[in-house]
Structure 1
Amino acid sequence: MPNPGRVASLIGGLLFASSAHAADSWVIFTGGETPNREAWVVDAQSLADRSDLVGFLQRATPAEQNAYLKQLRRREPAKPGDPVAGPEPVYEIQVNTVYENATKPNRLVRKYWVNCSQNSVAIRTSLIQWRDRPMENVPPDKFEPQAEAIAPWQVQLVRFACLVGPDPKAKAPAEMMKRGFFSIGDVGQSPVDFIWASLWKDGKRPAFTYLPGDAEMDRTVRSLEATVARGQSETSKALDESRRAANRVGRNNLMDLWIGKTEQEFVRTWGPPDRVENGADGSRTLYLHRGERVQGLNAYGHVVSDVNNRCDITVLTTDGYVRDYATQGAACAQQLR
């Protein structure tokens, strides 16, 4: 016999990887009158920085790029008057929308990207849990476009993400309550039970009239697993590109000349790499270093001098050709001319 509990497990555990940690749920908005009440619940543990570094680097002027690089290298707080630049702050966050009315879904489970500078929200993943029909994994081409946060729940979502995203310690319950955020703690994979037990005690909870079979749930598992894998792959590629782009900004050195040339040519000129990693997609990552770090020690073993002339070079090749590179080290500007 089908196990209805699997439905909640599929939603919480597959579509969103946040099931690996305890939830930190907050009610950010409630609206409507019975029997049409709705509640919006976010999981603070799902907050993740998704700032568009690549987009910033593509649009920024050379002065803005240099200002951003200086910020990255700065060890002390910025001084008054120092130029500030960087990608617009964007945060990803999981949102559960719970519905009281029996004709609406039991809940929507979505991930949004919140752009703090633009005061906008955009759907990234969306799953509908119906009471009378199968779960619906909404394809990306059906998502609503990025929109300005105008609806009250959207305004609260932006406020929450842009407050807690930069500073997770900002979640002092008393202060959050003043802003309209109510902590409900770890409610597991779904906040629906809590909403009905604590906020809608005077309402009549609609029953589930549809119970999926095991075969259908297995198909849902495969579909959601594919969604997760696709999202993780896209995120990984974006992060890798961001890191490489950040390393290349402001330089015009010989490494740029190697993009598009063969790996064989590169190795023939630079010598065998110190280490090679083979990717599952057929790509290869070559690791090389130039220069050394030399530390001088006194008779007691204490460091009395430290000269770091090392530059680490990472080269990504695909189908035998150099596609990209990254460098790290204070001496790279001198080593790679």
Structure 2
Amino acid sequence: MKQGYAIAIAGAAAMLASPALAGERWLVYTGGEKPGRIFVVVDETYLDAVPFTEKTYKLETITVLENAKAPDWVSSNMIIDCDRNTLEEKLIQVSPRGGKLTTAPDQPAKQPTNAVGEALIAFACDMGPKNSEQRLAARKTDLTDRGWMYMGPVTTSDVTDLAWNSMWTDGKRPASTPRSAAELEREMESLNARRQKALAEAQAIAGEVVEADKRDQQRTAAIMAETEANGAIAKARKRREPAAVVRALEAWVTHGEAELVGSWGPPTSFEDRAGTRFLRYYKTGVMLGPDPSQGCGAGNMYVPDPNSKNGGMMCVAGGPPRSETPIECTASFELRGGMIVDYATKGTEVTYSWGGNGCAQLFGK
């Protein structure tokens, strides 16, 4: 940007400053060849980070066009992704040379294809991360070497006047159908309403994302708590139950009621209690004691051999019958939501020198 242009624009901007829908405008690009020159201004007021993104900023632009066959000016919202070096254009408003504002379709994110796109990305990625104090300092700094100049609080109408009165003084402003101040104000109010609606929708979506994140965190916390609780239950179960029972029944944990009933048949009894269901299976049997005749034949038994000097044993007739102990056991499966979460056994406690108990005999493996 030439120094003379910068001084002229700064002076004109100071005279045109208007509070009506005026933003903190920056000139970020001016160039092209007559009669196709353009004048690009951005509004710092709406330069902000896009929620839930990394190094992505929203930038509002106004582009004034010199060519009589082109619109008077075009405004849009740019979504600038500094990491990907892309710009996405939304809420595009087109102001013909006379007549009402029209709209144009949103444009997808893409790499810059000209100097204007490069200038917009450079400005957004430099100014976007700055806080209010740093931006205030930037306004007071001469940045014309970068092609930027702070213009102050000027309106869209002021911007178009500045382009023709300060930059394109060697050309003739194309004729346009005049519009009253009231019409222009209504159009700008409509533009501002669209902008505010888009902002509200973005904030609503952001709020939904926040709530979804909270729900995900709550679900994660609940799953972690349940996992921890299930781990404690499993440890307690393995301490409580005989090893043979654990080997036989542990695989049923996390399986459904239908699977268990399909394999074991209907339960002996069941109970529903506070959202928890219990299925109980009862079995009886007989536990045999040590076999006194083992190795001697039925009806015999081992006794010390009186003729043995080395403590030998001998087999004699009249051995006692093998003991038989009635046993019983109930295996109780606890289900929540139709899924087995725990089990417990309770039954006859019979212990021999070789180990074992009633539940291990009836349900174990």
Tell me the TM-score normalized by structure 1. Answer: 0.52
Q: Deviations over 1:272-323 (max 9, x none)?
A: xxxxxxxxxxxxxxxxxxxxxxxxxxxxxxxxxxxxxxxxxxxxxxxxxxxx
Separation of aligned partners in 2, 1:47 and 1:211: 30
Residue matched to 2:164: 196
Separation of aligned partners in 2, 1:115 and 1:163: 12
Separation of aligned partners in 2, 1:117 and 1:197: 38
Structure-2 change in CA distance of 1:129 and 1:238 (3 Å): same
Query: In the alignment, which of 124, 133, 146 is matched to residue 161 of structure 1?
Result: 124
- The higher relative CO (CA closer than 8 Å, separation ≥ 6) is in 1
2:91 corresponds to 1:125: yes
Separation of aligned partners in 2, 1:93 and 1:151: 17
Query: In the alignment, which of 60, 63, 81 is matched to residue 115 of structure 1?
Result: 81
Structure-2 change in CA distance of 1:175 and 1:163 (3 Å): farther
Q: List gaps (5 residues or longer) in structure 1.
A: 1-18, 54-86, 258-337
Q: 1:175 Cα deviation (Å)?
A: 5.5
Structure-2 change in CA distance of 1:28 and 1:155 (3 Å): same
Separation of aligned partners in 2, 1:156 and 1:242: 32
- The 3-state SS of whatever aligns with 1:253 is helix
Query: In the alignment, which of 53, 69, 75 is matched to residue 103 of structure 1?
Result: 69
Q: Deviations over 1:234-286 (max 9, x none)?
A: 212222123334545666124999xxxxxxxxxxxxxxxxxxxxxxxxxxxxx
Q: 1:106 Cα deviation (Å)?
A: 0.6
Tell me the TM-score normalized by structure 2. Answer: 0.48
Q: Deviations over 1:135-176 (max 9, x none)?
A: 2123xxx22221112311111101100111101415255453
- The 3-state SS of whatever aligns with 2:143 is helix
Deviates more, 1:238-247 or 1:121-130: 238-247
> Does the aligned pair in 1 maintain the 2:90–2:107 contact within 8 Å?
no
Q: How do 1:13-24 residues align onto structure 2 when only pairs under 5 Å count?
A: 22-24=22-24
Residue matched to 1:143: 106
Percent of residue pairs bearing the same amino acid type: 27
- The 3-state SS of whatever aligns with 2:26 is strand
- The 3-state SS of whatever aligns with 2:107 is coil
Q: Which amino acid aligns with 1:23?
A: G
Separation of aligned partners in 2, 1:195 and 1:114: 25
Residue-pair matches, total: 201
Query: Which structure has the larger Rg?
Result: 2
Give me the CA root mean square deviation: 3.4
Residue matched to 1:29: 29
Q: Which amino acid aligns with 1:49?
A: A
Q: How do 1:290-329 residues align onto structure 2 when only pairs under 5 Å count?
A: none
> Does the aligned pair in 2 maintain the 1:25–1:183 contact within 8 Å?
yes
Structure-2 change in CA distance of 1:217 and 1:203 (3 Å): same
